[in-house]
Chain A
């Protein structure tokens, strides 16, 4: 889109606020869903059905004292949560929400997304190191090793998508999935192993259960955010929820047709006037949010269903299973592209 910079800034501002609100909704959803899964009601006191609980939590966090341990490195101690929030929020600029509705429509948005994923390792590691506490250090070390291990398989599964679309632009990856009958053009049908690999590694990259070793409560108290209190802790919390919502958006964009309605090509063949119109755009935005919401639900569902891995199981899974599978899958996809093109 060629808009004046202030319009871009306004839309970016709206997206950041959308992500903030959706993080609160996801916190509420997580607590409510986990409540029902454990046969208890979950939050139900603040507002109707407890819906205002996350907002009350934010107000509480803002009014709490910000404690920096005496031995900690104060600058890095505040830099780490800032980094996490900035990265989580910036990734929102790359997601196409509808046809031509994307803040930063770059030719290399896939690479930028992978770069942002890599930088978020720093946030966790610096938080663990700067606190100068043993629990934090162990959590930070574990998570840096975990995140870089799973980043390889993630990069290779994204590579297989890039091979199919032969483009590094997320918009073109979405439009490339329009072919085929109905929903069969989606990458999840053309590249199912890549889709499974990406979903598994997305869990590991966002430090969500069953890969939440960096903050394993039973062994490490709080992991890398043991020494954080008040709003700084709140920022880690916010970044975690925004991150897994963004991860759901990326899963949808890469493998589940992005903003495209199911059977969109058939609908457009039936009503050609719809193409490029405002109602279609609104339906596309709704579609991508519903799809991403489903995957956000899967993230919550898995967290309250599966137990946590042991550390050596995690490393074995990442290096000895996922990485070879991802390599072979990328090569098979390349051969497939060669045969079918």
Chain B
């Protein structure tokens, strides 16, 4: 029920308030003495070379894409996990199990393909 969420949002509000207070208190109390050296990004004492907003390895994009595929799969499995005992009680247990196994095996094949293609090699 939706009213069950109200305490959750109360806690969320208190947490937001806490983090605001921490930030603001530190900003009010702490000293403010800027200088150029202090404001540069840290690069082991050197002057920073170039920007940090560079392109980075395509591996990270690959991991993110595979993650989305599998995360959606797991989200699909949750409703089944909650209602599986009702299917069993109705005598449809083995049939539903076979369907879910089919679904999982298709995705497992995808994972094996990805590993064989070297999509997850970080060496």
B30 touches A82 (CB 8 A): no
Interchain CA distance A154-B12 in the complex, whole Å: 24
Looking at the assembled complex, report how far the CB atom of B86 sits from the nearest CB atom of chain A, in whole angstroms. Answer: 8
Q: Across the interface, which residues of B come within 8 angstroms of A324, CB to CB?
A: 108, 111
A105 within 8 A of B: yes
Instruction: Mark interface residues in B71-108 (1 if CB within 8 Å of A CB, else 0).
Output: 10010011001111110110001100100110010001
Q: Interface centre among B39, B82, B84, by most A CB within 10 Å?
A: B82
Looking at the assembled complex, report how far the CB atom of B72 sits from the nearest CB atom of chain A, in whole angstroms. Answer: 11
Instruction: Mark interface residues in A312-341 (1 if CB within 8 Å of B CB, else 0).
Output: 100110011001100100110011011001
Q: Across the interface, which residues of B come within 8 angstroms of A235, CB to CB?
A: 19, 22-23
B47 within 8 A of A: no
How many A-B residue contacts, CB cutoff 8 Å? 225
Stretch in A30-38, A156-164, A192-200, A204-212 touching the partner: A156-164
Partner of A90, one of B8, B34, B38, B52: B8
Chain A interface category by residue count: 35 or more
Instruction: Mark interface residues in B11-36 (1 if CB within 8 Å of A CB, else 0).
Output: 11011101110110111011111101
Interchain CA distance A11-B82 in the complex, whole Å: 30
Interchain CA distance A312-B32 in the complex, whole Å: 42
Partner of A162, one of B14, B29, B31, B78: B78
Interchain CA distance A94-B9 in the complex, whole Å: 11
Partner of A62, one of B18, B26, B38, B104: B26
Partner of A327, one of B22, B43, B108: B108
Stretch in A42-50, A65-73, A300-308 touching the partner: A65-73
A240 within 8 A of B: no
Interchain CA distance A312-B120 in the complex, whole Å: 9
B117 within 8 A of A: no
A106 touches B60 (CB 8 A): no
- Say yes or no: A67-B108 contact (C-beta < 8 A), given A16-B14, A149-B67: no
Segment 55-87 of A: residues with Cβ below 8 Å from B = 61-72, 78, 81-82, 85-87
Instruction: Show the binding face of B for A, using Cβ within 8 Å.
Output: 1, 4-8, 10-12, 14-16, 18-20, 22-23, 25-27, 29-34, 36, 38-44, 48, 51-54, 56, 59-60, 63-64, 66-67, 70-71, 74, 77-78, 81-86, 88-89, 93-94, 97, 100-101, 104, 108, 111, 115, 120-123
In the assembled complex, 19 residue pairs joining A and B whose CB atoms fall closer than 8 Å, in A order, are A5-B7, A12-B14, A62-B29, A66-B26, A67-B38, A71-B51, A81-B19, A89-B19, A103-B10, A131-B41, A133-B42, A136-B52, A144-B60, A148-B71, A166-B86, A234-B26, A312-B121, A320-B120, A334-B84
